[in-house]
Each structure stands twice: as structure tokens, then as C-alpha cells.
Structure 1
Amino acid sequence: MKKGLRSVLFSVLVGALLLCAGCGKSGDIYTAGVYTASAEGYSGPVTVEVEFDGSSILSVHVLSHSETVNISDRAIDEIPSQIVEAQTWDVDAVSSATFTSDAIREAVRDCLAQAALR
């Protein structure tokens, strides 16, 4: 009797898993949309905007910052495009603009968490 009950429960569990497997779009890891977040840079908050489709990072833009002009410019210009190209927040910091680089990466990581499918 126990063996028959176990077999039925196993079959129900497998069936439920198969049904759930087809519930979402295949390959989607993000909720599509535009997300914003801020993180502390050297001179204050750095705010970014990240756009996602269901499976990738489409764009990253620095919306505002209080960083030192000329020192932070390279990080603000390069880090967003590197993130889009690599499809991860974990890209190399720009030398001499480490705080700004870290703030951009941290804010993008926050946006990734906001967009992640749960």
C-alpha cells in the first residue's frame, strides 16, 4: 500500500513540475522594463537607469552624479557600455575613478535585483 501511495505522489509531483516548467517564457531572467537606483560615489550619490528586456540588459545610463569632472568622466562614459556588452555588473573599474566605477556597478546591481524574476 505504501509503495502504491508513493508512486501516486511521485507521479503528481512530476506532473506539477512539468506544468510549472512551461509557465514562463523560456530564457527570461528579467522582468522587462526600466529601473533606477543610486549608490554612493566619491562626492555623493550616482543614479543610474537600466533597461531590460526579458533576457538581457539593453542599456545603462548615468542619470545624475556629483563626481569630480574630468576624473569621473571616463568611468561615466565607459562603465555603462561595458556592462551592456558583458551583460553583467561585474566589469573592471576605471583607474583613478574607482569610487565612481563602484557606485555605477553597485547601482546597476541594485537594478538587476529589482528586475530579477522571482
Structure 2
Amino acid sequence: MKRVTLAIATALCILALLSGCGGSADTYKAGTYTAAAEGYAGGVDVEVEFDQDSLLSVKITDHNETVGIGDRAIEELPDKIVEELTWEVDAVASATVTSDAIKAAVKDCIEQAKSK
């Protein structure tokens, strides 16, 4: 009886895990989108490139953030966003305002790419 219960529980766990594998992936209208958000020292402009299935690149095209502080977020966050395929990444320590501006602008681009 214990073996049957264990086998059923194992099968249910496997089914639960596999059900997430074929989930509904986001689709985008391929192209390059731009947006801006207010950073610590002014606007932070971003350019985000998409293909139909994925976020391909994030570039900061203009900013006036503080050298040595805000520019750490400018350098680090774009790669992290592309690597994790989401704007919901951790902020760079000591550069929270700049990080939040980058994330907000990228989120705006994602929303643009999703709307059809």
C-alpha cells in the first residue's frame, strides 16, 4: 500500500512540474522600443530590442547620473535584465534611484512590445 501511495504521489509531482514547462510564454512584436524614466539626476533613456519570443538587448542611450554611483547601475543592469529576461531584477546597491529608472523604462518598452 505504501508503494502505491508513493508511486501516485511521485506521478502527481512529476505532472505538476511538467505542467509549468509548456506555459504561455510572452510574445512580442519584434523591433526596437524606447522609453525614459526619471533618475537621480534627470532622465534615463533606454532602448530595448525584441524578437518575437524574447528580449534581446537593453541599451542606456542617455543619462546624467552620478559618476561612480549611478553609472554602476547603467553598466550592470542592462546585462542582468537581458540575462533574466525581466525588468524585475534587484537594484544595484547605492544606485537605487537610477536602478528604478532603468527598470521602469524597460518595463515601459516591454509593455509597448507586448501591445499589438
TM-score using structure 1 length: 0.75
Select 2:64's aligned residue among 59, 63, 66: 66
Matching residue of 1:51: 49
Please say which structure displays the higher CA radius of gyration: 1
Matching residue of 1:32: 30
Aligned residues: 93
Q: Distance in 2 between matches of 1:75 and 1:42?
A: 12
> What amino acid is the match of 2:80?
Q
CA offset at residue 70 of structure 1? 1.0
Could you tell me whether the CA contact under 8 Å between 1:29 and 1:117 is conserved in 2?
no
Superposition misfits of 4+ residues, deviation over 4 angstroms: none
Q: Distance in 2 between matches of 1:98 and 1:28?
A: 28
User: Alpha carbon RMSD of aligned pairs, Å?
Assistant: 1.4
CA offset at residue 66 of structure 1? 1.1
CA offset at residue 68 of structure 1? 0.8
- Residue segments in structure 1 that go unaligned for 5+ positions in a row: 1-25
What's the % identity of the aligned pairs? 62
> What amino acid is the match of 2:79?
S
Q: Deviations over 1:20-46 (max 9, x none)?
A: xxxxxx966100000000000011100
> What amino acid is the match of 1:39?
A
Q: Distance in 2 between matches of 1:60 and 1:84?
A: 7
Could you tell me whether the CA contact under 8 Å between 1:56 and 1:87 is conserved in 2?
yes
